[in-house]
Structure 1
Amino acid sequence: MFGKTIVIVNYHYIRAEQCDNGIHAISIEGFSKQLDLIAGEGYQFISLEDLHRAICRKNMDFLSHKACLVTFDDGLKESYVHGVDVLDRKGIPAVFYIVTDPIVEQKVLPVHKFHYARKMMSDDEIWGFITEKFDLPGTAVAEDVLMEQYPWDSPSSARLKYLLNFQLAQEQQVRVVNYLFQMAYPNDESAYANDLYMDQDQIIDLAQRGYLGTHSQQHKVLSILSEDAIRNDLKNSMDVIFSLTGKRVSSVSYPYGGYTAVTENIGKICRDLGMISGVTMFRGINTINDIMYRNMMLKRVDMNDMLGGKSEKVYKELAYGV
């Protein structure tokens, strides 16, 4: 790949030990080693401020030939407790994109309820429970569509995720996920939420560092909402962050992030709300053309696809065509 580039790497859960059963977490040691591998590849780690300077100037002259921005989605407490500790020791900046409703409501998002249910039950068990309990839509989805949205999952897991996140009406999604979560976690939901999500002091610290962005208010698939609903969700999240921190955010990570979840119009709405950058889960490495013309649709590389990840060949194909 010729010219200067920016690779944006994405993380979610980070725990003492790696796990892949429903909750896909990188270990603390694995995170540290992956950052070292990225640095060893010749990357200079940059901040959100650096990214926005490149976007606003429409040039990358002040950046090294290969730049890397570290991002975390969802606002999980472990990404602050473990992630910031590792990053600070290495002098690496990052961006943390938070969902605001869990902070305000002290409730667990459906997506994280589902993650926990899959940690405690197999996909076959979940299929059995929900098909017996609920009248589910029978719309078939092409496997290439499923794997585009969920490239790291088996076809059966991708089909289950796609059903819950994209095919069910919101009311039915809530009923199904609540049913599964209550089976897996019969205790107080607010206690789980308190353990799972960042608290206000942690969010304020990130805002003061310039490390904060929004991941929406409710983590819904924005592409299936009306324009007014999209605008309200994002504006509400921005307003909550301002009320908590006194800082305005100017970067968004789109929930789910794939081609079925993000549209050009959503990027335009975010730009109209004052956003400077938007990050997707479109696989790729960003060039000057992305910075100049696609700053609301920037590409990212999942931790699994990056150096040291279980599918690191994806990065090598993107970077070197091999």
Structure 2
Amino acid sequence: MLAVANFHYIRKSFETEYPSIFGVTPDRFRKQLQKLAKYGQFVSQKDILKGISEDKKAILITFDDGLKEQFELAKPILDEMKIPFICFVNTSNFSEKKVSLVHQIHLLRSRISPVELRKEIEKKWTIKLSDEEKNKAIIHYNYDEEEVARLKYLLNFRLGFEELRKIISPLFKDHFDKAEMANELYMGEEQLAELWGEGSLGSHGHYHDPLGMLPAEKVKKELEKSQEFFISRFGGRAKAFSYPYGSFEACKNLSIPLAKTGYEMAFSMERAINKNPAENPFLLGRYDCNDLPGGKANLFQRKNLFENPEFSNWHRYENGTSYQQ
């Protein structure tokens, strides 16, 4: 069996003018690793590709987005504890000095109040939430303040992906220097090279786009561009892939194009244990770090991580790995 824990931001402090970037501190990260170590054995990318038996209790640590803080703050802890891991990177962040849309949103929200940001979007694009949508926002984001809930609803439910890009990118350009932020936010090429040499690097796509929601030709081009980056920099293809956004819709119909471009396994964000990773290598389930022991919303408070778990099953659907394009 294989349980996978996924992390994003690792920072000493998450204080900003307007809180919008959340993650774990190095101290909390270390403590969570110590807790997870009680449940099973940490494994590497190479171990999974060789095969994980159903009776083994294996745990994999992963990171999405290739953030510099992951290398500088998390890696030293992992190295000290001799824990393997995989960092999944969006290759456009390095080859084109692009800042992914998801990070543009986080950075804008950290600098502009939710009221101001929502009004700026509504003014420039004549988009407004109805009273019904405002109520839905409060219900859906019940842990957030009202204005934060409305902004999140506008960004995540009211706007389509391409529409969101057209809105956010000009706003981001008004407030940040893209190339400067890309250098500040993402790992350097020497850091990537070190991870590659250790077998700890994988692809998160070229851009941070929901591939399962894109046309087949665009998917093919996206996967090939990402592999071209690894081939040109390191002389080989990435074997592991992490789906941006990780929802079922963002992962569906992709096992065949992934295999054709050289990938051997891929990780979704289906909150589940993988009974036998070899059965569904392109739709491996994965937990957010907060879902696991030591996380803010531990789903396993009353049972062992591997005790009668929910097993990944997205691959059993017609448009999972059995789907033929």
Q: Normalising by structure 1, what TM-score?
A: 0.83
Deviation at 1:223, TM superposition (A): 2.1
1:53 equivalent to 2:44? Answer no
Q: Does the 8 A contact of 1:253 with 1:279 survive in 2?
A: yes
2:83 paired residue number: 92
For 1:228, the equivalent position in structure 2 comes to 217
Contact 1:101 1:217 in 2 (8 A): yes
Amino acid at match of 1:211: S
Report the CA distance between 1:293 and its aligned residue: 2.3
Q: Is the 8 A contact 1:301 1:315 kept in 2?
A: no
Is there any run of 5+ residues in structure 2 with no aligned partner, and where? 310-325
- 1:151 and 1:85 map into 2 onto residues whose CA distance is 37
Partner of 2:286: 300
Bigger helix fraction: 1
The counterpart of 1:111, out of the listed 96, 102, 119, is: 102
Q: Percent of aligned positions with the same letter in both sequences? A: 29
Q: Distance in 2 between matches of 1:245 and 1:152?
A: 44
Map residues 177-188 of structure 1 onto 2, 5 A cutoff.
177-182=168-173, 185-186=175-176, 188=177
* 1:250 aligns to 2:236 (yes or no): no
Amino acid at match of 2:53: M
Alpha-carbon distance, 1:169 to partner: 5.3
1:162-217: per-residue Cα shift (whole Å, max 9, x none)? 248xx4352x433311243245x34x321111010111111111111011110000
Amino acid in the other structure paired with 1:221: P
Q: Does the aligned pair in 2 maintain the 1:17–1:28 contact within 8 Å?
A: no
Counterparts in 2 of 1:272-287, with a 5 A limit? 272-287=260-275
CA contact (8 A) 1:203 1:245 kept: no
Cα separation, partners in 2 of 1:34 and 1:10, compared to 1, 3 Å? same
Question: Unmatched 5+ residue regions in structure 1?
Answer: none
Matches within 5 A, 1:67-146: 67-136=58-127
Q: How far 1:129 moved relative to its partner?
A: 1.8
Pair 1:159 & 2:153 matched: yes
Q: Distance in 1 between matches of 2:27 and 2:161?
A: 40
- Equivalent residues in 2 for 1:157-236, closer than 5 Å: 158-163=152-157, 167-168=159-160, 170=162, 172-182=163-173, 185-186=175-176, 188-236=177-225
Matched, 1:43 2:40: yes
Spell out, residue by residue over 1:288-320, the C-alpha distance to the aligned partner (whole angstroms, 9 max, x if none).
2xx232110000010111111110136767754
**Per the alignment, do residues 111 and 29 of structure 1 end up closer, same or farther by CA in structure 2, a change over 3 Å counting?**
same
Distance 2:180 2:201 in 1: 24
1:268 aligned partner, one-letter code: I
Q: Distance in 2 between matches of 1:246 and 1:152?
A: 47
CA distance in 2, matches of 1:157, 1:287: 39
**CA contact 1:97–1:253 (8 Å) conserved in 2:** yes
Distance 1:151 1:77 in 2: 32
Q: Secondary structure at the match of 2:208?
A: coil
Q: Does 1:25 pair with 2:17?
A: no
Aligned CA distance change for structure 1 residues 279 and 161 (closer, same or farther; 3 Å): farther
Give the RMSD, CA atoms, in angstroms. Answer: 3.0
- Which amino acid in the other structure matches residue 83 of structure 2? I
TM-score by length of 2: 0.83
Question: How far did 1:156 drift?
Answer: 4.2
